[in-house]
Amino acid sequence: MTVLDRELEQIAALINDLRRQSQAAVFWAASSAHLESVGRWTEQHGAMCTVLQRAQEAAYSFCMGCLPVDRASALLDELGRSLPENVVAQSSWICADAALRTVVDATFEPGMSIEYALEPVLGRTSEELFGFWQVGRGDVEDEEVAEIMAQPEVVSAIEFCRWAVRRLAVAGAPSAAVLEGLRARAAILTDR
């Protein structure tokens, strides 16, 4: 188990301990930040982008306490039909899926989906350090992952996740101001 695996497990447990609306808020914020960072993709894939934006709007409504489960279920079905090829758009898509699945499935524990929220910053950092997007490989995985995890942008992204959980735990039910603060700070998760 790498240092990243342990970190993901810890953050996942913290997310799973939050109220359902707060769990969804973590993934709504990540999905929103990732979608904002893939401008050209959104121009080229209008229909997929529309589905993703509708899913994000529904997740936001759930966070605010006003989303019927049947609407979330229908949107979740739409998300399940395809997956973008762009890695950052995929992360946005999967985070939106996690937010909506939190609405639809009372047994779903979304915590480990945090890996997808972090994937763009981890992948970009790996690419900058080692020349490839994949995080860690073979017999040097532990060393590579440790080096990735020590980079300031990754440290900041991990800290954002921990901050978001603390903020949501204190807030109880998320407000519009809390959600906007999360979305703004979630930009650290992107691959820019």
The pLDDT, as a whole number, for residue 191 is 62
At 186, which amino acid appears?
Answer: A
The pLDDT, as a whole number, for residue 22 is 96
pLDDT tens, residue by residue, 34-71: 988 887 766 777 788 888 898 899 999 889 988 666 77
Per the CB < 8 A criterion, the answer to whether 6 and 160 are in contact is no
Q: Dihedral sign for Cα 90, 95, 101, 103, please.
A: negative
Asked if pLDDT for residue 134 goes beyond 90, the answer is no
The pLDDT, as a whole number, for residue 40 is 72
Nearest to 3 by CA among 94, 122, 116, 91: 122
Establish how many alpha carbons lie within 13 A of residue 28's alpha carbon, considering only the half-sphere containing its beta carbon: 30
Per the CB < 8 A criterion, the answer to whether 157 and 33 are in contact is no
Asked if pLDDT for residue 81 goes beyond 90, the answer is no
pLDDT tens, residue by residue, 2-32: 999 999 999 999 999 999 999 999 999 999 9
Nearest to 122 by CA among 97, 141, 105, 102: 141
At 5, which amino acid appears?
Answer: D
* Surface-to-core class of residue 176, CB atoms within 10 Å of its CB (0-12 exposed, 13-18 middle, 19+ buried): exposed
Which range has the worst mean pLDDT, 20-29, 129-138, 149-158? 129-138
